């Protein structure tokens, strides 16, 4: 998976098309990412340990849900446009991610 935690991405498809944000979490096994402020869903939370010291309040909370990695693209920091990501081997033998149109390292 070419998108990693901490990357700045733009959403290409879905109800939040055009939204940008930081990747909070990446799940390579299911090819999904969680983007900050994107794909917000309401979730019912149960009250845990009522009356105790570590009591959690129950109710309806809004949080981000994972979206498929094919629906997001990395943002080129110079042009502020979506860019594809590829890999390149440096002369010292390390593998680095590069932006496809410009060839700049991520």
Look-up of token digits 């981000």: 64
pLDDT in tens, 55-103: 778 889 999 999 999 999 999 988 899 999 999 999 999 999 999 888 8
**Residue 43 counted as domain residue:** yes
Which candidate, 71, 64, 10, places its Cα nearest to that of 34?
64
Decide if 73 is inside a domain: yes
pTM of the full structure: 0.82
pLDDT in tens, 4-40: 999 999 999 999 999 999 999 999 999 999 999 999 9
Q: In the chain, how many domains are there?
A: 1
The whole domain housing 82 covers 8-99
In a domain, 2, yes or no: no
63 strand-pairing partners = 41
Judge whether 94 lies within some domain: yes
CATH number of the domain enclosing 50: 2.30.30.30
Residue 104 lies in a domain: no
CB 87 within 8 A of CB 74: no
The alpha carbon dihedral of 61, 66, 71, 76 has a sign of positive
């Amino acid at each position: 998976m070419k998108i990693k935690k901490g990357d700045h991405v733009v959403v290409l498809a879905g109800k939040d098309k055009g939204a940008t944000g930081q990747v909070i979490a990446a799940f390579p096994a299911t090819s999904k990412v969680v983007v900050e402020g994107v794909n917000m869903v309401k979730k019912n939370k149960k009250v845990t340990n009522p009356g105790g010291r570590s009591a959690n309040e129950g109710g309806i909370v809004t949080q981000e849900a994972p979206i498929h990695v094919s629906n997001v693209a990395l943002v080129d920091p110079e042009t502020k446009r979506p860019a594809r990501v590829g890999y390149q081997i440096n002369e010292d033998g390390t593998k680095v991610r590069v932006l496809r149109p410009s060839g700049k390292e991520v």
